[in-house]
Structure 1
Amino acid sequence: MREDEFSEWARGCQRPLLRTAYLLTGDLHRAEDLVQEALTKVALRWGRLRDGNPTAYARTVLVHDNVSWWRKHRRERIGQPGERTVPPPDTETALVVRRALDRLTARQRAVVVLRHFDDLSERETAAALGVSVGTIKSQNAAALARLRHGAPELLDLIGRTS
């Protein structure tokens, strides 16, 4: 393995991966753990991944590991809505976005983050989540409808009234 290639790649993608993980989890500490695990998994497979798209693989690891964590801990978290570890300093915009994302199911949140924050295509999002493009379309539509009705402050933030 060429360590300098991996290190350069990791330095370049660590911050965007952390942003994605944070948007998925709403928890900075868990997001950092997810990124570390994803980078470790990429490092172990660097020989096969370096000529392909290691960032897509890392993003898929983030999503899958987050879903696994959520499934394992959801019973513990029932009855503790909105509980978070210490969040980073927020601007008003970041706070509005985070609260809006909290209103979505885990699957909807993953779709919205990958499609609208990471700007992935429907096909790329489907590949990252291991589902069909049709599922991405329906989850995205449901998430956006939920945000329109349940998070009007988001529309105010972007200057729309409907």
Structure 2
Amino acid sequence: MRASSGGARERQDARERRRAREFEAFAGGAGGRLLRTALLLTGDREAAERLLTRALAHTYAAWDGLGGEDPYERTRQELVARYARSGRCHRRGDGDGPLARLTSRERLVVVLRLYEGVAEEQTAAALGVSVERVRALCARAVLTVAA
């Protein structure tokens, strides 16, 4: 009996090592772009790194249950949800750069639509608003940035 429990443990260890390698490969490949997205949202390097770390931890915890779901999409959704819940959604002036004059909700729309290329419908669903609201936020944000 002891030999079979040792074999089960070895198989479990092998699965955990494979899972860790897969996740490391994903994070190594997608981490830079996800960090850039977080940085565009927060306007602050430290806040972006914290946001991304939490989103990646959530993705890693769910790794075995993704079942064919795109881990990049899952992590980006978690990043957006965490940012939206952070209480920053009603402030202006986060960080420096051209997006600093936008509200956080406008930032979310601009980053998702223009940087990430997410469809209006998906952006609306992620933010819990109508497609028309996404269009209005995006138009206002673009005008603000261009001014």
| TM-score range for the pair, normalised by the shorter chain length | 0.7 to 0.9
Structure 1 CA distance, aligned partners of 2:105 and 2:52?
Answer: 19
Name 2:85's counterpart in structure 1: 68
Q: Give the match's secondary structure for 2:87.
A: helix
| 1:108-127 equivalent positions in 2, closer than 5 A | 108-127=106-125
How far did residue 54 of structure 1 move?
A: 1.6
Bigger mean CA offset, 17-26 vs 133-142 = 133-142
Name 1:17's counterpart in structure 2: 34
Matched positions, count: 130
- Asked which structure has the greater CA Rg, the reply is 2
Bigger mean CA offset, 9-18 vs 43-52 = 43-52
Name 2:57's counterpart in structure 1: 40
How far did residue 41 of structure 1 move?
A: 0.1
Distance 1:20 1:83, change over 3 A: closer
RMSD between superposed Cα atoms in Å: 2.4
Structure 2 CA distance, aligned partners of 1:19 and 1:125?
Answer: 18
Bigger relative contact order, structure 1 or 2 (CA pairs below 8 A, ≥6 apart):
1
With structure 2 as the length reference, what TM-score do the two structures score? 0.76
Which sections of structure 2, spanning at least 5 residues, go unmatched?
1-15
Contact 2:37/2:111 (8 A) holds in 1: yes
CA deviation profile, 1:56-112 (whole Å, cap 9, x unmatched): 12112112212222359x7xxx8xx8575xxxxxxxxxxxxx432111111001100
Counterpart code for 2:71: P
How far did residue 7 of structure 1 move?
A: 1.6
